[in-house]
Amino acid sequence: MSTYKVELFRKFCKSCQICLRICPKQVFSINERGQVIVEDDSRCIGCMQCCNLCPDFALEVTKNGD
C-alpha cells in the first residue's frame, strides 16, 4: 500500500500540466487524450507541491490511514 493517495478531480482539471512538471517523483502522466492522470501514487512523497500550485483545486493528496 502506498503512503499517499493522490486524487485528481476530472471535472476541475484543465490539464495545464503544472502538477506533472512540478512533481519530483513522476506521479502524474498524460493519457492518449492529452489529459493529466495519476500514473502511480505509490511514488508520492507528500511534498504537496502539486496541490499547492494547482490553479484549479483539482488535486487532493492524503496520507493513507489518516
Partner 1 sequence: MREQMLKYMKQDKLPHVFCPGCGNGTVMHAMFKAIDELQLDTTQILIVGGIGCSSRIATYTIFDSLHTLHGRALPFAIGAKLANPSLKVIVITGDGDASSIGGNHLIHAARRNMSLSVFIVNNYTYGMTGGQYSPTTPIGSFTATSPCGHVEQPFSITDLLVGAGAPFVARTGTFYFNEMVSLMKKALVNDSFSAIDIFTQCPTNYGRSNRLGNPFDLMKSQSDILVPKGKFEQMTEEEREGKFARGLIRDAKIPTFMDHYKACVLLTRRGVRR
Asked if 37 is part of the footprint of partner 1 (rule: CB under 8 A), the reply reads no
CB-neighbour burial class of residue 44 (10 A; exposed 0-12, middle 13-18, buried 19+): buried
Bridge partners (DSSP) of residue 37 are: 29
- Site residue total, partner 1 (CB under 8 A): 25
- What the block records as the C-alpha cell of 32 is 492518449
CB of 32 to partner 1, least distance (A): 18
Q: Which is nearer to partner 1, 27 or 61 (CB)?
A: 61
Report, in Å, the least distance between residue 44 CB and partner 1.
14
